[in-house]
A and B are shown apart, each in its own frame.
Chain A
């Protein structure tokens, strides 16, 4: 029959844009998100290639008291600090610490939050109670205080900072995952998948998780930003990354006493934190709008 002939016709002809392509397209329409993305890509390149560009011993951690506390100039665009180190080099090199801590703590928190949250959302009952009450307890302790205690217990290092920050991220990821799994679980298309005869694990993997991802992706972007702030705050308080590592918060703490006379020692690391978090937030907002295919309806 004609139909069967046609059935083998080239499906490429009907190729539409896939959902991912469409999301990307919508994201590119958002100027803020594009600026944020460009900024983050540059920062990422700097962070990855930091060791190639800079030499730790001669450019990042060294003393050259002769040029200490110099105002920004052609030679030192961001000025130098109290030990004569180039602030620009340290700010750029420092991006890697902020990114490692921000991304690391979010990834760790995401793994824990995604697993506990989706189980709580899907199965409900006792498991839900357990997860959510544990969450409530963690939520009721101020994040910074919790982090301070953990860092004190584990000793000051980047790893302990990552672990400390991941705990508060995990609680928010668990909450978001649980809420969206619970909404998606009751959607008719999940019931339809049961009626189709799909086993539960396939339904979770194929229909529930992909539909939960949008709010989680947005939250990931925003959390990286807030964790960078938290990490810097902890460093500023002296319980984060130890001196002389050029972490932005640590640099702020070091520059604090010179803020009246040599403000550039604080301004530039502070600006770096602000711009990075702003870029991440712009990206997050852009993603939120771009990821929801139902927005059009």
Chain B
């Protein structure tokens, strides 16, 4: 990875949903870009718009506004049929290994489906061979080739999901909470697998998760989202050593640390809960839960990301 090639650039990505109560700001003006072979972690709690961001940039949902530039092509206005060709380049791994696999298809059918659909291989023998290869790559024993998803456990199912995503040789994979439904020991297996695949195939990941500890292990850059907006974005090490946005700080300190008897950083408890993202006023969205909130916050508009250190962006009026 000598030259730094930007593989995905997202400008002002916005997705509103119309609800009976008003406009739901699922994603509200998100900007970022990723270099090839890197991982961007998108972190936030339920309802912050991280999953919608992932689905919108793959155009599984139509963006309300903004621009998505993938590998130099502006795909924002691509129609469905045009996007179908792009699917070999950008793929997704889903959160729930139980509902993301068609229960009526065998493992062979599931993994070979994308190969057949995009006519990557033609003869039946070649397709079968490639399917078995993919099973080897993701560490699924070949004896499962004719079984059905309900016969397998969560970890193996997630490996099927990964094999399906890899089947088309994509450049970018959006991983939407790929391990949050799995047990710790299985989680580690899947995380290691994803990391090894990235090394071997030069994959680019967008890693969506609510679990900061997972992204720390995994990501080059981390973006923290709150109520549809990015509130902080920085290289992984920087965000952990120097979290600047009050929300990031609270999020970090809320993780229970599995250490006993040694000194731990003091807990910073957030008060209240996430507010509804419907009909938001033009104000700092974290204000009501923020312990650093000052008068200037209440009187000013919604803060935008600004660079406070090289590559460290934060959207807060008071952060320095």
* Minimum distance in angstroms from B17 CB to a CB of chain A: 14
Inter-chain contact B146/A15, CB cutoff 8 Å: yes
Inter-chain contact A11/B145, CB cutoff 8 Å: yes
Q: Which of B85-110 contact A (CB under 8 A)?
A: 85-88, 91-92, 94-96, 98-104, 106, 108
Inter-chain contact B117/A198, CB cutoff 8 Å: yes
Inter-chain contact A196/B87, CB cutoff 8 Å: yes
* Minimum distance in angstroms from A18 CB to a CB of chain B: 8
Chain B residues with CB under 8 A of A3: 133, 136
Chain A residues with CB under 8 A of B106: 16, 18
Inter-chain contact B129/A195, CB cutoff 8 Å: no
* Minimum distance in angstroms from B80 CB to a CB of chain A: 8
Inter-chain contact A11/B88, CB cutoff 8 Å: no
Inter-chain contact A189/B101, CB cutoff 8 Å: yes
> Which of A4, A191, A192, A294 sits near B129, CB closer than 8 Å?
A4
Inter-chain contact B104/A19, CB cutoff 8 Å: yes
Chain B residues with CB under 8 A of A296: 150
Inter-chain contact A195/B128, CB cutoff 8 Å: no
Cross-chain pair count, CB within 8 angstroms:
99
5 chain-A/chain-B pairs, Cβ below 8 angstroms: A188-B95, A191-B94, A196-B87, A196-B164, A197-B118
Encoded as 1 (CB less than 8 Å from any B CB) or 0, chain A from 170 to 206 comes to 0000000000000000011101111111111010000
- Residues of B within 8 Å of A, CB-based: how many? 47
Rounded to whole angstroms, the CA-CA distance of A297 and B142 in the bound complex is 23
Chain B residues with CB under 8 A of A189: 99-103
Q: A19-B104, A188-B96, A207-B102 are in contact. Are A195 and B91 (CB under 8 A)?
A: yes
Chain A residues with CB under 8 A of B114: 196-197
Asked if A140 CB lies within 8 Å of chain B CBs, one says no
- Residues of A within 8 Å of B, CB-based: how many? 33
Q: Which residue of B lies closest to A210 (CB)?
A: B104
Inter-chain contact A195/B87, CB cutoff 8 Å: yes
* Minimum distance in angstroms from A134 CB to a CB of chain B: 25
Chain A residues with CB under 8 A of B147: 16
* Minimum distance in angstroms from B146 CB to a CB of chain A: 4
* Minimum distance in angstroms from A169 CB to a CB of chain B: 25
Inter-chain contact B144/A14, CB cutoff 8 Å: yes
14 additional contacts (CB under 8 A) given A189-B103, A198-B84: A3-B133, A6-B142, A14-B143, A14-B146, A15-B146, A192-B92, A192-B161, A195-B92, A196-B91, A196-B164, A197-B85, A197-B87, A197-B88, A199-B84
Rounded to whole angstroms, the CA-CA distance of A195 and B56 in the bound complex is 11
Asked if B240 CB lies within 8 Å of chain A CBs, one says no
* Minimum distance in angstroms from A122 CB to a CB of chain B: 15
Asked if B62 CB lies within 8 Å of chain A CBs, one says no
Inter-chain contact A197/B117, CB cutoff 8 Å: yes
Rounded to whole angstroms, the CA-CA distance of A8 and B130 in the bound complex is 10
> Which of B86, B99, B143 sits near A188, CB closer than 8 Å?
B99
Inter-chain contact A294/B150, CB cutoff 8 Å: yes
Inter-chain contact A11/B94, CB cutoff 8 Å: no
Asked if B125 CB lies within 8 Å of chain A CBs, one says yes
* Minimum distance in angstroms from A208 CB to a CB of chain B: 10
